[in-house]
Structure 1
Amino acid sequence: MSAPVAISVENLTKTYGSVTALDGISFEVPHGEILGLLGPNGSGKTTTVTLLSTLQRPTAGSARIAGHDVVAEAGRVRELISLTGQYASMDDSLTAAENLSVFGRLTGLRGAALASRIDDLVDQFDLADVRSRRVGALSGGMRRRVDIASALITRPEVLFLDEPTTGLDPRSRAAVWDTVAGLRAEGITVLLTTQYLEEADRLADNIVMLNGGKVVASGTPGTLKQQAGAAVCELSLVQRSDVEPALAALTDLDVIEHDDASTATHPRIVVRAADGMSAVRDVIARLDTAHIDVVDIGLRQPSLDEVFLQMTGVDAG
């Protein structure tokens, strides 16, 4: 039995005068899953979030949150969702607990119920050490954790995270990833927009790629990688002088890339490996017969970066 649909989008369109920000996109997100919404700047990611969170009205098409129309039942939808933008919406002069309290009061929580919910969130997000510290004195990663905790003060069914790790250092980003992954275990549906393909690969159950306001690809991370082509065997040679002999040894294989021996310290050769490890074993045997030494050799699946480039024509890096 399939999971109930938390987010349903059908032919959603948004225009601003002569500019089309979204051009009839459609997708669904089952309850309790994380959807990664990817695309280059201007592809329509943030516009999608603003429409789904009732901050704007679509020009055409429809969208539903837990079965409720985002236009006709906007009030009900707002009761079911929460939104965290690209930058933490905290009051730097208040402590972490005081910020949580402000958001709780804005949503109608008071007294013992509010105090209990703050205690729960402090425990869930490991904020005990910073509970009484001013948010302005916290690291970027910790600020973001407080921000996400604030967005969960009412236990929303659907959480929109619009590029939640923008500007964070790798350690802080990893901490936020752990936080977001934990939301899945809580049964919260998450729509995540991100510029970091590693982030989507690690967190998302499914991915929708946008370009020019249209859906250009969708599916699980694994499915999208397969669409980018077969796996490849990558090898790095010990000697620059071995490039030509190595290419000769691999002459009837599909060599799709190789470094210039005059510039690379350890020249790299990439061979298409449709047969997976069988292809790697074949390459090793050929190089061994030719007495060519390698620094490293292995099988690599296509990355989301390659899918992104193939589908959008834009280099994610």
Structure 2
Amino acid sequence: MRALAVLAITMGAARAEVPDLPLPASPSFAETVPLTSYRFATGPFANGVFPAEVAEGALTRRVWQIAAPGATALQVMAPLRDALLADGWTMTFECRTRACGGFDFRFEIDVIPAPEMFVDLADFRYLAAQKGNERIALLASPSGDLAYVQAAYLDPDGTVEAVTKSASNPPPAPRLSATSDVTRTLTETGHAVLDDLDFPTGSTQLPGTDYASLATLAAFLRDNATATIALVGHTDAEGTAESNMAISRRRADAAKALLTGTHGIAPGRIETHGVGFFAPIARNDTPEGRTANRRVEVVLTSTE
């Protein structure tokens, strides 16, 4: 398996590197902010309290998605931690999953929204480190055949230009009607909601096999033989986080089954992911909002 290129965060002359790993990876998010504040966790979430320190300076945030079938969060994080220690960084806080504070901790820390970053509430690792005035926070979590690594680096003395290569808080994905132009929407925005895939609360099954959005998407994939996509399932906020994560993944799997079975698209061109109720596009306290949130989105992952 080809080696992973060095993952680096650079602020002027300051540099924090994440080492080579025997895994292929691809960047999914990059952002630099000239001057901002950022919270670094200093302890686990407990008794309603999130211990953190706030630092100010030039901030760089990055996310990588790593092909790592079967990897655990520790297997991804350990070499990154070792590299920081070797480079003179001091660990200020480390934790894993429940010891971090589980659900509450994950929603207190900064996390780039899906599909760029994904956090499995049953397996994630967080660490914060400091070298001089520089600070860095890493978050690692696996999902299926992928592992996700998020890094935030802050330098009080650094200077950067404001750049965002993938929106950290993206607008709601354009919704597709049965007659919409999926090809145009994917080309222009890179993602869209497959609006005619309707799931009742708690359901992972599509009641039919004939959906205009999937037929148009299949035509797009046949016309663009090198294109690959990810189907991302979503739920409303009814039920537990754990059950909704599983339901959302199965909803994406249901859409993939129709694309591969009914429309003959090669399974290897389609990834599936589930993010539960963590990326709503509407309020969950109204019937209309919950209906809108029960959806499958398509994300264009590659055209080459």
TM-score of the superposed pair, with normalisation by structure 2: 0.28
Larger radius of gyration: 1
Which has a greater percent of strand? 2
Which has a greater percent of helix? 1
